[in-house]
Structure 1
Amino acid sequence: MSIVWTVLIGFVAGLIARAIKPGDDSMGIIMTTVVGVLGALAATYIGQALGWYTAGQGAGFIASVVGAIVLLIIWGLVTKKKA
């Protein structure tokens, strides 16, 4: 059941991150969910590395959204079309 919650929270975090970050992010619902879940995982890993979270404790929702925003910025830099 925790995987379902992770995907659900990642989807919501991805949607909020896309709404907050300016610019055109033309990606579908599946990519939004993937970016949100990866943002949550990245925030958890970085938080544990810095001592903010303990092992087994997930990142907070705000940290998940911030992680998703960072991934969206990186995604935009990687997929930027060259003129």
Structure 2
Amino acid sequence: MGILGWIVLGLIAGAIAKAIMPGRDPGGIIITMLLGIVGAVIGGFVGRAIFNSDISSFFDLSTWLLAILGSLIVLGIYRMVTGSRARA
């Protein structure tokens, strides 16, 4: 799957991660979508490193799960970092 596929997957995974993790995001929808792309790419790299397989199919369940998990982790980290700044 090329970079364009990872971007599309990241946009969708970011929306799913936002639905799973409700609440206010400090950056809005654009930042959430960008974090989804970053999370999908990181999830893909980590999945490739851990499972030692080519995660290249857009319609593969493991690709989607890793992208959503990566997006959730990146979104959670972003909320922790920006949430502490907003309170200070």
Q: TM-score range by the shorter chain?
A: 0.7 to 0.9
3-state SS in 1 of match to 2:75: helix
**More helix per residue: 1 or 2?**
2
Pairing of 1:1-83 with structure 2 (within 5 A):
2-50=2-50, 52-54=51-53, 56-58=54-56, 60-80=63-83, 81-82=86-87
Q: Distance in 2 between matches of 1:28 and 1:82?
A: 18
Gaps of 5+ in 1: none
After superposition, what is the alpha-carbon deviation per residue over 1:51-73, rounded to whole angstroms, capped at 9, x for unaligned? x142x534611110111011110
Alignment root-mean-square deviation, CA: 2.1
Q: How many positions carry a matched residue from both structures? A: 81
Q: Distance in 2 between matches of 1:22 and 1:5?
A: 26
What is the TM-score with the length of structure 1 in the denominator?
0.78
What is the TM-score with the length of structure 2 in the denominator?
0.75
CA contact (8 A) 2:11 2:33 kept: yes
* % identical equivalent positions: 33
Q: Distance in 2 between matches of 1:53 and 1:66?
A: 18
CA contact (8 A) 1:39 1:65 kept: yes
Gaps of 5+ in 2: 57-61
